[in-house]
Every structure is written in C-alpha cells, then in structure tokens.
Structure 1
Amino acid sequence: MSVLRKLRNIMVGDQLARTQKCSGTTASGSVIRGHVWRNLLVVMMASTLLLVAGCGQQQSSKDSKVIRYVLEQEPSTLDPAKSQTLPESTVQLQLFEGLTRLDEQGEPQPAAAMSWELSPDGTVYTFHMRPHMKWSNGDVLTAQDFEYAWKRALDPNEDAGTSYMLYPIKNGEAYNSGEAKADDVGVKAVDDSTLVVTLEQPTPYFLKLLAFHAFYPVNEQVAKTHQYWASKGETIVGNGPYKVTEWRHNGYINFAKNENYWDANSVVTDVMNWPISESQSTRLTLVEGGEADMMVEPPVPDQHRLEKEGLLQIGPMLGTYYYVFNVTAEPFTDARVRKAFAMVIDRKAIVDNVVHGGKIPAFAFVPPGMLNPATGKDFRAEGGPLVTENLEAAKALLKEAGYDEHHPLPQVSILYNTNEMHKAIAEAVQATWAKAFGVNVSLQNQESKVFLASREEGRYQVARASWIADFGDPQNFLEVFSASDNDAQFHNDAYNDLINKVRSTQDGSLRNQYMHDAEQMMFDEGLVMPIYYTTQPYVSNGKIKDFYWTALGLIDFKKAYRVE
C-alpha cells in the first residue's frame, strides 16, 4: 500500500485530531466552551495572524473583492507528484488544472484538454489540448508538459507518493518498480497539442482520475531549475485559475487571478487571502470575528451552537470511518464472530453523541454520492444496507461459532491511533460489546506511524480505519481488500477475481453488478464494521458565492466571489 493510500486511510482521523486538540482544553483537561472563551481570544488570535500577515503584502481584509478562506494546515509542498494531504490538494486545485476538472456533480469536464477520443477497445485515449495555453509565468503550455509530469511522478528516483494513481497507464507500475523504462510508459505527446495515452486495460473512471493532482502538468524548466520550486511562493508555477503572489510559511498564502489561464474570463475574483492555522478555535475565531469568510472542521463542542446560528454547513466527502477485523487473529478467524460484533453497534448514537458534524450512520462500506452511469441511480441506494443492528441474531451467530456462557469469548483489544475522537468512539464500542456479549474489551492507542505499521503487519485484533476516495468510483473502495497487503490480512481468490472483472469490464451495467457482488462478499466475510460516512463540516459567514465542494473534499473557488 503506497504512502498516500496509508495517509488517506487515516486522514479523517487526522482532521478529527485537529478538531480535538484545539478545542480550548485547560491544564486540568476540562473544556472551556462558548462565547466567553471566544470573546476573550478573538482579538488576540486575529491580531496575531494579522501581525504575521502585516510583514508581507496581505490584502486588506475589508476589501469586498477578496475571498478569505482559512487553510487548516501549512502545505509541506505543492508539487502535484508529492503532496499528500487534503489542504495541499485544496491549494493545488486553485493553482493547477489537469486534462479534466470535476464539476459540481463530481463528473469530469474538459479542462486543459478540449476534447478526446477513445479507441474501440477502451485502452487508447487521444487528447486534444486547448490552443495557446500558457503557464502562470507566461511560458507556453503544451502536451509535452503532461508527458513530463506523468513520467516524473512514475520515476522511481522521485519517490512520488502519488505514483500509484498512474498505474492504469501502460507500464506505469512497471516503470515505477524499476522493471521498465520511461520510454515504455504509455503516454506520448505526438505534437504540442496532442497527447496519446495507452492504458493497461479499459479503465472506466480514467477521465475522473485525470482531475486528480497526480495528473496535473509540471513546468519542466522550472522543476529542473529550482529543486524546491513547489515550496516557495516566488518559484511555484501553475496553469490553473489563480497564481501565488506571496506565501508566508505558517502564516498565509495570497493568490491573484491568473491572467494566463485559458478560462480566465470565468474567474470572477481578483485576489484571495488564505490565513493558515491548524487550530480549529483560531480558524473559527477569525470567521466569527470578521477577519475571514470560511473555515473547515470547527471544534466539535461548538458545532451545535453554530448550527443553531446558521453558520455550520456540511459539504460532501466520499469516505467511510470503520473498524477492520484481522481475519488471522482469534476469535476473528471466524466470519460469524466478525459479523456478530458488527451487528450490535448503535451507529446513530455514536454519530449523535460522539462524532457530530453531519456524519451519516454507515450500514455498508461504499458511501453514498457515486452514481451508476447506466441507471443514473446512486450506487449506495442501489445496494442498500449490508449490515443490520440485531442483538439476538448476533448472539445466535456467536453460539453457532461455539461461544456461549460455557465457552466465553477471549479478551478482545481495539487498536486506534492516539486521538480523543478515536478514543471516544472506541469507548462506546467497548461498552457495547461488553454489554452485548460479556466480553472483556481493552483499548490500545499508538502514535500514527506505529499504528499504521501495526495494522498493516496484522499486529492487532480489531483496529479503527477510514478511507477517503482518491476518485469518485466505488472501485476505489472495493480495491482496499483486494491488495496483497490489505490490513484485514484477507486473501480470497473469488474476491480478487471480481475486482479484476470490475477493472476490465467495459459494459457499465455488468461492471456495476460486479461491484455490488464484491461489496456483498465483503460483508458475507464480515471484514469490516462500518460506523459512519464522512462529511466536510465547515463554517461560512454566507458572503462567498458560487464555490462548490468536490466529492473528494476539496473546495473549488474558480467562479467564486465575495459579497457584502
């Protein structure tokens, strides 16, 4: 499993961790809530960020033409091949553009490519670039920039975290693993305006993949001239709606409309100023204090108040928070035990009392929000719930597996990465399992890197996990358990055969049925215990119009503007 897939597998947890650690906790551990705390801090926090901004050329926050969005994390890089977090991807979406761009419905639309053709066998795309495109620095942008960027991301010497996203390209994985040469990779700029891409096999979601940051172009001259070009405001060059005018690290990023963008006439806003803060409380203070317009992940203790005041909004995010069972660890070697443990959790109670943020109780693995192109219906609605909450049925399954008052269950341990939200969820699950089955349940927390290693190597019984989509197709979720290194330690030829059929089948209806069959098998085997579908809670003062959230949790400000 690649670095990025591992990071996405804990990304929701990282966001929740930021929510918890910055909620105004006192030395004694109690939480100070409400307007009293906020009123005391509003001037101090806002002034601190504005003083930092004042060292540069930060646009006045009173300018009605300026979009002020508080970024939740300092980007370590904005290199499309190497970035690994949602905040980085959010910034990149403003600065770069791939051959396609996702619209409000999550569907790919022509972007840097104005049109394309697909061969009858579904393996060769011929993309036609828009004429007269330029980089933000004025350099000419051609099909060669895409070929260079993609092969660079696959270059094993680059150690790019996004390389696996390009594996559908012919010999992409082979080149990345050192088993092929760059010239063998199935991407070729036949001239300045034509890019031919050959795939390993038909890939129905490929046009959606092209909107992902791994497929953004890179200016070869800039990348070869400046080693850290994507980490400095003065050297970063993009091809998207905006360009960076100043980047004060851990302070703010200032943007201006990119006059060289092919669709510059659709970009309404001339200037964006994004303060940066990992603190939920600070970000909320900036919005409520009038120094910013929007922020994500408000502190959980404030969400009920914000909802009543009409400030809390819920954006989409394709993801699922779940527990995974290690199928090689007793007592979870028996699918009946795994299914029984998943059947007694009160998901609504966890969402209502622990998680909040508009989360949705999950009764399957693939979240809602992805349409079946053949029917126009939501994949989740078609598949329906795949796990039920039924205590008596759960006890019956355990009895079938040989566990009763005379043969009690052994001790069970829940593993989670250190975080107050994960702890609270684990405690709720612990109490439920103890009450339902009389089982002794212990909790074990580990720092994220250790936790990931423990889960990947199977050193656990039950562990928390989450999956955020890399692209808007159910296959992205179902492939989690077809990988040879999947965390459940699950290896099933029949399941892998279904996933291979999903990958290669061009018939949309048949492919969709294979995906439903694969998800059903996942629950027949009792691999996971879904808890909730993720969302993107955010706070807005209502002054920013015509933005939208992509299904991947990114906010698109291309056509957005601010009103007073």
Structure 2
Amino acid sequence: MKKSLLTLMVLVLLMVPVLSACGSTQTTSSSGKSEIKQEITLNLMSEPPTLDPALATDTTSGWVIENLFEGLYTTNKNGDVVKGLVKDVKVSDDGKTYTFTIRDDAKWSDGTPVTAQDFEYAWKRVLNPETASEFAFYLYYLKGAEAYNKGKGSADQVGVKATDDHTLVVNLEEPVGYFDKLLTFWVYFPVKKSLVESNKNWAAEENTLVSNGAYKLTSWEHDSKVVVEKNDQYYNKDEITMEKITWVMINEATTYYQMYKGGQIDLITDIPSDAVAQERSNPEFKITPYFGTYMYMFNVNKEPFNNPKVRQAFNLAIDREAITNQVTQTGQIPAYAFVPEGVKTPSGEDFRKQKEAYFKQDIEKAKQLIKEAMQEEGWTKFPEVTLIYNTSENHKKVAESIQNMLSKNLGINVNLENQEWKSYLARTNSSDFQMARMGWVGIFLDPAVILDYFLGDSPNNRTLWVNPKYDELLHKGKVEADQTKRMEYLHQAEDVLMQDLPFMPIYFYSQNYLTSKKFEGIVYPYNRYPNVRWAKKIAE
C-alpha cells in the first residue's frame, strides 16, 4: 500500500508542472467567438544534449533543432526535398560546382538577414578541428573539407565561399547525386556568425539562441521542458499552422503513457510494451516504419570482443523474433543485416530484399565459436561482460531479454548498467564500454548514410573497428554515377561489415505513436520524429 501511494505521489508531482504549463487552450477573437489555441505538447523524453547544429548527433536534439533552423533545402509535408533558403541554384556540367542564391526574405528570428556568409561560416565552423563536431565527416563532400578537419589544410581551401550576401558557391571533390538531400540535414544549417563569435554559449538558453526556421526558442527549463513558438520572421510563416510546441522530458514509459491518457501530453512514441495490446484497436494508435537499426555495439579493442568469434557467437545466440514478437511488440523487423528496408534500387526492388539475411540463429555453432575463442585467447574463464544502455523502460526490457538468452544459450552472464542519455553519450563517445546499446537512423533514404556509421574515421563509430576495404567500397558507393553499380558497391561494403560483425543488429526500427484525436495534419516522416508544424488542433 505504501509503495502504491508513493508511486501515485510521484506521478502527481511529475504531472503538476506540465498541467500548469499547458494552461487554457482557448482564446476569444475580436468578434467574441471562442477560438482554439494552436498548441501541442510532445514528449522529448530527455534533455537534448545541445541545440547547436554543429554539435548535435542525436535525434532528441535534432527534433528540436529542425524546428528552429532551416538550411538551403528542406522537406515538405509529403517528405519531398524542396528549396528552403534557396531562391535559385545553378550546377556546373561536371556536377562539382553549385551556385546558390539565398532568398531575399531569409531572416533570423531577431529580424536581421540570413546571409551567404552565415552559411560559409557555419560549414567551416563544423569542419574546424577546434569545434570537434562529430558529424564533420558529412561535409567531406566539399573540396578540401576533410583535409581542413584533419588539420592538414586551411579553412580558405574548403570549397564553400560567399561571393556576396546572397550568393554561395560550393565546390565538391566529386559529383554527389544526393547533395540536395544532404543539405536538409542540420549539420548544413546556418548559424548567425556575429552571435556565435560573441558568445560561445549562444545555444544554451532561450534568451541567447537566435534561429532562422519555422520556430524560435521561447523557454528552456533544463531537464524539464523546451518551448518553441512560431517565428514571425520566417519567410514561410503563413504555411505554419501550429503556433506553439512544448516538449516535456518524461523518460519513464508508464508515466508518460499515463500522462497521455490523462490529456497532459498530446502525442507520445515508444508506448510501453505491456500497453500495446490494449491500444492496437485504438484509432489514436499508429505504427510507422523508421529508417534505422537498433543494435548493440561491441568494443573490438576490449575483451572478449577483440575476438571476432565471440562477436559472431553473440549474434548467433539470440532470438530476434522473440524480441520483436514478445518484448517490443510494435512492428519492428528482426535484423540480420545493417541497412533497413525502405530504399528502392534501380530495378525497383528494395535494397534489403536483395540480400535479407547474413546469418540465422544457431546456438550450437555459437557454443562452438565461444569454445574456440577461449582456446585462442587462453581464457580459462570467460571474461566478465557488462552491457550498458541509456535509461529507458523499453531499452531495459530488450537488454534483460538478451541477458537471459546469452545466459541460457551460452552460459555467459552479462551485467546490465544504465545511464542517463547525456552521460551515456559521453561514455560511449570515449569508447568506455564492452557492449553498448545504440540506434542509427538515416538522415535520408540511402544505404550509404546507414553504412556511414562504421567508417573507420567516423567519430560515431564507437566500436573502434576499422576496415580499409569497407571504407573504400563505401566511398565508391557514394560517388558512382551509375545507380545499379552504386548499389552493388554498397552491398559489397555491407558484406565486409557483416563478416567482421563489430556490432549486434537486433531489429529494424518502427515507430509507434499515440496521437490525440484533437489534432489533424501531423506528418510522420520515415526517418524523423513527427513534424507538427502543419498540424491543427480541431477540438478541445
């Protein structure tokens, strides 16, 4: 009884700030009619590590950033790539030089113009080694970018130059068939040069952050909530119907589920697995594909995962169907490869369907591989293993399931350890782990952006696995003009990755949502969290 009362008190305490923040959602027009305030409350789950486009590496930060900023290109409500801050673009015959003309009405949220110089500054800032941007490699397509980022060249040699306030000239190392898609990614967003140079903490608080997108930051109560409101300086403001977005930060699944049911949150994702069955018939429940892979990383420089046979054995020993059918239960697809479904090849066939599985569960073979690895390494006892994951009820359930499978099938005990997201990122970034949970979502639908994760010099590759053959094939798969050959190179790169297995793919993501029936027009992208800028609240 005491435990139940304590749980109820915690729930009430968590709900009170949100209820207070939401307030009334109705207003009265000049004609005296009651109008519905266009406001929505979402769940960010945790504190975004940063709102600086140069530094963000996670989808939590990205969800907010993509509402605050906009690049040369953006996506519309249908998911199509369209011009953002670009008024006009000219491409050279060899496909290596782009000349962009910036819109005359592009402005920062403080009313000052967005200039071509802001773009040049932002891109070179990402590449500046002192910035330590983990996504700098996404700009290596620019001439001289990789050399500058690695301390072997200068900023002046990077292929981006503002020739006047409205003209940005970009030179690429080689033609890139999906360059417009790349430019929708936040690492290519502009930042206000004068602001960033005058305040190194410009992106840390609502009263210092200046943005150029559909919304401006109006409140940031750290570890509690983020609020953005429609940016009246945005060139396309008349197309934005949602006036205010509030993200709360509730990590415990049961709590945010109850808050949704109580009306304190309007949309949630990652519904508790034990609630899915009862919600499946609810018209507010929705499952969508998500272009990403849920996995466990192996640190190949630490025992026991320095031995490839151990990595292979762990992969063979788990039952992915049991995890997706009995644990997650929301449409995930068991993963026996790295690239998810969703990419159509020139033949019309899905990239993943061309080679669906690299292995299947085989417990006896897994046992034999462990035996061989122990003999090779001289282990009289299998090394102790700790699996770390970021705090989440669903992550915990998956981890416990895999812990049980490895114990039952291989006789290996795995310790579990969880950390809050920001601390978890810091720890995995330093490769301070043996085995760690991670997810990787493509910034657009192409195998290359998934496979990028394991590039040898990618800071996102926390496994410390490096394979020059893999890097070479992936590079060929990015620059090859013939799309059929290009996909062949990318398949070959994945072949190399799946041979060495520096990770354990578990499932291809899906997203499950509960969305209040009071809203219409919410967009659920294939590789992003929901976009609510075109949404409308239609009822109280």
Question: What TM bracket, shorter-length normalisation?
Answer: 0.7 to 0.9
Are residues 1:363 and 2:336 paired? yes
Counterpart of 2:41 (choices 69, 72, 83) is 69
Are residues 1:98 and 2:60 paired? no
Aligned CA distance change for structure 1 residues 42 and 223 (closer, same or farther; 3 Å): same
Counterpart of 2:387 (choices 399, 402, 416) is 416
- 1:105-144 to 2 correspondence within 5 Å? 106-144=79-117
Aligned residues of 2:136 and 2:149 also touching (Cα < 8 A): yes
Aligned residue in 2 for 1:4: none
Aligned CA distance change for structure 1 residues 533 and 546 (closer, same or farther; 3 Å): same
Are residues 1:378 and 2:378 paired? no
- Amino acid of the residue matched to residue 215 of structure 2? Y
Aligned residues of 1:416 and 1:451 also touching (Cα < 8 A): no
| Secondary structure of 2:36's aligned partner | coil
- 1:504-515 to 2 correspondence within 5 Å? 504-515=479-490
Percent of residue pairs identical? 32
Aligned residue in 2 for 1:147: 120
- 1:89-488 to 2 correspondence within 5 Å? 89-103=62-76, 106-269=79-242, 271-280=243-252, 281-325=254-298, 338-372=311-345, 374-391=346-363, 411=382, 413-418=384-389, 419=391, 422=395, 424-437=397-410, 439-443=411-415, 445=417, 460=434, 464-484=437-457, 486-488=461-463
Counterpart Cα distance in 1 of 2:7 and 2:151? 56
Aligned residues of 1:149 and 1:215 also touching (Cα < 8 A): yes
Aligned residues of 2:162 and 2:169 also touching (Cα < 8 A): yes
| Secondary structure of 1:535's aligned partner | strand
Counterpart of 1:552 (choices 527, 530, 536) is 527
Unaligned stretches of 5+ residues in structure 1: 1-25
Unaligned stretches of 5+ residues in structure 2: 28-33
Counterpart Cα distance in 1 of 2:361 and 2:94? 45
How high is the TM-score relative to the length of structure 2?
Answer: 0.82
| Secondary structure of 2:280's aligned partner | helix
How high is the TM-score relative to the length of structure 1?
Answer: 0.79
- Amino acid of the residue matched to residue 168 of structure 1? Y
- Amino acid of the residue matched to residue 541 of structure 1? S
Are residues 1:50 and 2:19 paired? yes
| Secondary structure of 1:70's aligned partner | strand
Could you tell me how far 1:454 is from its partner in structure 2?
7.8
Aligned CA distance change for structure 1 residues 475 and 393 (closer, same or farther; 3 Å): same
Counterpart Cα distance in 1 of 2:173 and 2:507? 35
Counterpart Cα distance in 2 of 1:75 and 1:426? 23
Aligned CA distance change for structure 1 residues 134 and 413 (closer, same or farther; 3 Å): same
| Secondary structure of 1:370's aligned partner | coil
Aligned residues of 1:82 and 1:160 also touching (Cα < 8 A): yes
| Secondary structure of 1:48's aligned partner | helix
| Secondary structure of 1:385's aligned partner | coil
Counterpart Cα distance in 2 of 1:123 and 1:502? 17
| Secondary structure of 2:359's aligned partner | coil
Aligned residue in 2 for 1:562: 537
| Secondary structure of 1:313's aligned partner | strand
Could you tell me how far 1:227 is from its partner in structure 2?
4.5
Counterpart Cα distance in 2 of 1:491 and 1:50? 50
Aligned residue in 1 for 2:31: none
RCO (CA 8 Å, sep 6+): is it higher in 1 or 2? 1
| Secondary structure of 1:144's aligned partner | helix
Are residues 1:497 and 2:472 paired? yes
Aligned CA distance change for structure 1 residues 27 and 475 (closer, same or farther; 3 Å): farther
Could you tell me how far 1:188 is from its partner in structure 2?
0.9
- Amino acid of the residue matched to residue 504 of structure 1? V
Aligned CA distance change for structure 1 residues 361 and 202 (closer, same or farther; 3 Å): same
Counterpart Cα distance in 2 of 1:247 and 1:464? 28
Counterpart Cα distance in 2 of 1:478 and 1:412? 30
Aligned residues of 2:26 and 2:36 also touching (Cα < 8 A): no
Aligned residue in 2 for 1:7: none
- Amino acid of the residue matched to residue 64 of structure 1? I
Counterpart Cα distance in 1 of 2:485 and 2:298? 30
Aligned residues of 1:128 and 1:193 also touching (Cα < 8 A): yes
CA deviations over 1:400-456 (Å, ceiling 9, x no partner): x6999xx9996265431155655544443344345445x444435475868976896
Aligned CA distance change for structure 1 residues 421 and 88 (closer, same or farther; 3 Å): closer
Counterpart Cα distance in 1 of 2:247 and 2:314? 44
Could you tell me how far 1:205 is from its partner in structure 2?
3.3
Counterpart Cα distance in 1 of 2:150 and 2:82? 32
- Amino acid of the residue matched to residue 20 of structure 2? L
Aligned residues of 2:128 and 2:148 also touching (Cα < 8 A): yes
- Amino acid of the residue matched to residue 559 of structure 1? W
Aligned CA distance change for structure 1 residues 422 and 298 (closer, same or farther; 3 Å): closer
CA deviations over 1:309-367 (Å, ceiling 9, x no partner): 34433344332122445666777677566445423421111123333343221121111
